[in-house]
Amino acid sequence: MSLSKRVKLRKNHQALSTSQIMLQVILACIPGIVALTVFFGWGTLINIIWLGLLALAFEALMLSLRQRQVIFYLKDYSALLTAVLLGICIPSTSPWWLGVIGIGFAIVIAKHLYGGLGQNLFNPAMVAYVVLLVAFPVEMTDWVVPRGSGTSPPDLLVSLQAFFSGDATGIDAYTGASAMDLFRNERGGMTITEFWQQNPAFGLLGGLGWEWVNLGFLFGGLWLLYKGIISWHIPFSMLAVMVLLAALFYDNGSSLSGGSPMMHLFSAGTMLGAFFIATDPVTAATTPRGKLIYGALIGITVYVIRVWGAYPDGIAFAVLLGNFAAPFIDYYTKLSVTQNEK
């Protein structure tokens, strides 16, 4: 079976080719990217352009090393989508070398060592994100303080300086811990309402700025659903499980509370993860029941890591863990389907 056919079948959408699907997903990211740029400055756009160029270069290099048709495969936009997703995830103040290492891991190791498009076991963008987070925790948890909490984000010139200078010292004045980080580390026994009121990093629903970013990706995700490019199973079960867990451990907003369901839905990378990353057809489970289990597994892991783990957000880890379990989930759900048919 050819690759584009497989993607088509998996997406259950006969009319679109791989490149059209990839392009649609990239376009659906735009509302979220706009929100990121408004609240956190030009950095995200710089990231996306730089990572996009790098991804095309690495992709071309790997394709020619593996003696494939370079131009033919470059036109499927899959490398570009990986770059866009990674560019959204890494902090907007990232220096240039962070992208080189990240895209290197994504395209070379996570994608082409497994045979390229359609055959990778793990989501390339998330592999890159986790590698960077584990290897460079300082650079990767330094976020620009969002517009509206006293300061305005750095302008284009400052952003470019931070990008080229290779370290974040020039931009220190603009950065701090993100809302989820503060929530985990700086709460010091306050109740949810107290903390919310005292801390300018929070808005109406979740982290200030982050709530708009999440609304943007929710909008893009719903559009993808409407277009039939993704199915509802994974985002639904992932978000439902997160809401359920958050409600279960909300504890009336006491000092031991794990945070409100709203905060978990509209902070950090929840919506991006649910609609754009967990739904990657190649690395997710494929049967409808399998997708529900897969989404639920990711939802549980995200919540557990956010509330009890050491890392600020669990989306990337949870997606990798889901990728890891997906073939087994498929194995099990396909088995029970065939048994039922008998």
Partner 1 sequence: MNELLLLLISAILVNNFVLVQFLGLCPFMGSSRKVETAIGMSAATTFVLTLSAMLSYLLYQYLLVPLELEWLRTITFIIVIAAIVNLTEIIMFATSPVLHRVLGIFLPLITSNCAVLGVALLNINAANSFSESVIFGFGAALGFSLVLVLFAALRERLELADVPLPFRGPAIAMITASLMSLSFMGFTGLI
Partner 2 sequence: MSKSYQQLGTEGLWSNNPALVQLLGLCPLLAVSTSAVNALGLGLATIMVLSASNLCVSLVRHQVTETIRLPAFVLLIASFVTCAELLLQAYAYPLYLRIGIFIPLIVTNCTILGRAVSFASRNPVLPAFVDGIMMGLGFALVLLILGILREFFASGIIFANMELLLPFAENWEIRILPQYRGFLLAILPPGAFLFMGFLLALKNWIDNKMTVKQHNDEADILIRNTATK
Total binding residues for partner 2 by CB under 8 A?
6
Residue 300 site contact among partner 2, partner 1, none (CB < 5 to 8 Å, cut-off depends on kind): none
DSSP 8-state code for residue 145? P
Taking the least distance from each CB to partner 2, the nearer of 9 and 135 is 135
Question: 148 or 309, CB closer to partner 1?
Answer: 309
How many residues can be counted in the chain? 342
Distance of CA 13 to the CA centre of its chain: 24
Structure tokens at 56: 């095309």
- Picking from 3, 20, 18, 87, the residue whose alpha carbon sits closest to that of residue 53 is 87
Q: CA-to-CA distance for 57 and 125, rounded, in angstroms?
A: 16
Cβ 204 to partner 1, closest distance in Å? 29
- Residues numbered 102-131 forming contacts with partner 2, rule: CB under 8 A: 109, 131
Question: Which amino acid, 130?
Answer: V
Query: Pick from partner 1, partner 2, none: which does 288 bind, CB < 5 to 8 A by kind?
Result: none
Q: Among partner 1, partner 2, none, what does residue 327 contact (CB within 5–8 Å per kind)? A: partner 1
Under 8 Å between Cβ of 314 and 258: no
| Nearer to partner 1 among residue 8 and residue 112 (C-beta) | 112
What character string, x for contact with partner 1 (CB under 8 A) and - otherwise, covers 111-130?
-xxxxx--x-xx----x--x
129/90 Cα distance (integer angstroms):
7
Q: Is 129 helix (H, G, I), strand (E, B) or coil?
A: helix
Choose the one of partner 1, partner 2, none that binds residue 305, judging by a C-beta under 5 to 8 angstroms depending on kind.
partner 1
Build a one-symbol-per-residue string for 73-112: x at contacts with partner 1 by CB under 8 A, - elsewhere. Answer: ------------------------------------xx-x
* Dihedral angle over CA of 303, 259, 238, 315, nearest 10: -50
Give yes or no for residue 66 binding partner 1 (CB under 8 A).
Answer: yes
Using CB distances below 5 to 8 A depending on partner kind, what does residue 174 bind out of partner 1, partner 2, none?
A: none
Nearest to 192 by CA among 239, 249, 243: 249
Using CB under 8 A, pick the residue from 9, 27, 49, 135 that binds partner 2: 135
Nearer to partner 2, 135 or 173 (CB): 135
173 contact partners, CB below 8 Å, separation of at least 6: 151
User: 23 is in the binding site of which of partner 1, partner 2, none (Cβ under 5 to 8 A by kind)?
Assistant: none
Query: Residue 275 interacts with partner 2 (CB under 8 A)?
Result: no
CA distance 210 to 214: 6
> Looking only at residues 269 through 328 of this chain, which bind partner 1 when binding is defined by CB under 8 A?
301, 304-305, 308-311, 314, 316-318, 320-321, 323-325, 327-328
Minimum CB separation of residue 316 from partner 1 in Å reads 8
**Which residue's entry shows tokens 């919506």?**
271
Single out the residue of 183, 192, 82 nearest to residue 127, CA to CA. 82
Cβ proximity of 36 and 224 under 8 Å: no
| Rounded Cα distance, 43 and 35, in Å | 12
Q: Which of 253, 260, 145 is nearest to 199 (CA)?
A: 145
Q: Does 58 bind partner 2 (CB under 8 A)?
A: no
Least Å distance between CB 136 and partner 1?
14
**φ, ψ dihedrals at 57, nearest 5°:** -65, -50
Of the pair 97, 331, the CB lying nearest partner 2 is at 97
Binding site for partner 1 (CB under 8 A): 66, 109-110, 112-116, 119, 121-122, 127, 130-131, 134, 301, 304-305, 308-311, 314, 316-318, 320-321, 323-325, 327-328, 330-331
Residues of the shown chain interacting with partner 2 in the complex, contacts defined by CB under 8 A: 109, 131, 134-137
